[in-house]
Amino acid sequence: MRCNQLARWAAVGVLSAALAGCARERTVAASEAAIDPPASIPLALRGQYTVLHLSFPRHDQHIEPGQFNQDEICYLSVGDFRIDCYTDGSSLDLGPNDSTDLLTDNPMAAIAPARDDKNAAQTMKLYGILFLVGGSIDRLPGTLADYIQDPNQHLNEAVALAQLLLNQKKVEFEGHARGGNFTVTVELNDDGRDKLLDALDETGEPSGPTQMVMLRHRR
């Protein structure tokens, strides 16, 4: 029970700090969380196309801010591919100057408690970023499928990412928030697989791991 409570404290600390826009390096400890953690934080999420699980350190961590864009509250990366998350939406970056919208509206960004209640406000922010991350990941198969069928200059990269999701049962995205780091493990459901397979089939692209695009780890 105590381990579960500490995990909730860590999640609240990381996500609350991310939304607060704390860009400096700091150590986030379970005991630093400013509010009582909700009784249940849904770190395992199911969407239309994906099932995902968010993992947070269960111990003190030293924050490495990483490479943040202006106004960005967090980003997710796998190899060279990156999902940029802002308060009101998110986008997929397949390469330089090639950004595609994932979420264009996050209703939670403009919602706040009617009364001045710090705990309630922090809790709503926590769920807001969970919806943002979860919704962004769940839009990924559909967005990739659309891009493959109507590509820009990074078709090979889009196909490589689609193949990665199709051929690995679980894909780990590295999450970087301004208040801490986390991991998002992503698994396609049947609808997500069908979405990507249909797009690859229609364009004559292989669904197996045959593309030569390298999934390099960011340094």
Provide the pLDDT confidence category of residue 28 given band limits of 50, 70 and 90. very low
The arithmetic mean of pLDDT across residues 67-80, rounded, is: 84
Percent of the chain with pLDDT over 90: 42
Domain that holds residue 141: 2-203
> Is 213 contained in some domain?
no
- Point out the least confidently predicted range of 3-7, 39-43, 56-60, 188-192: 3-7
Provide the pLDDT confidence category of residue 76 given band limits of 50, 70 and 90. very high
Q: Which position has the token pair 């196309």?
A: 49
pLDDT higher than threshold 70 for residue 173: yes
> Is 150 contained in some domain?
yes
pLDDT higher than threshold 60 for residue 25: no
> Is 83 contained in some domain?
yes
> Is 144 contained in some domain?
yes
pLDDT digits (tens, 9 = 90+) for 101-156: 999 887 777 788 888 888 888 778 778 888 889 999 999 999 999 999 999 899 99
> Is 215 contained in some domain?
no
Q: Looking at the 3D structure of the chain, how many domains does it have?
A: 1
> Is 211 contained in some domain?
no
Residue type at 117? Answer: D
Provide the pLDDT confidence category of residue 66 given band limits of 50, 70 and 90. low
> Is 218 contained in some domain?
no
> Is 217 contained in some domain?
no
- Point out the least confidently predicted range of 82-86, 105-109, 191-195: 105-109
Token digits for 174?
């590295």
Mean model confidence pLDDT for the chain: 78
Token digits for 68?
């943040």
Q: Give dist(CA 24, CA 65) in Å, integer.
A: 7
Residue 56 or 153, more confident:
153
Specify whether the CB–CB gap between 73 and 87 falls below 8 A.
Answer: yes
What pLDDT score does 2 carry?
Answer: 52
Question: What order of strands is seen across the sheet that includes strand 98-103?
Answer: 44-46, 50-55, 180-188, 171-177, 74-78, 81-86, 89-95, 98-103
Dihedral over Cα of 56, 85, 144, 153: its sign: negative
pLDDT higher than threshold 80 for residue 184: yes
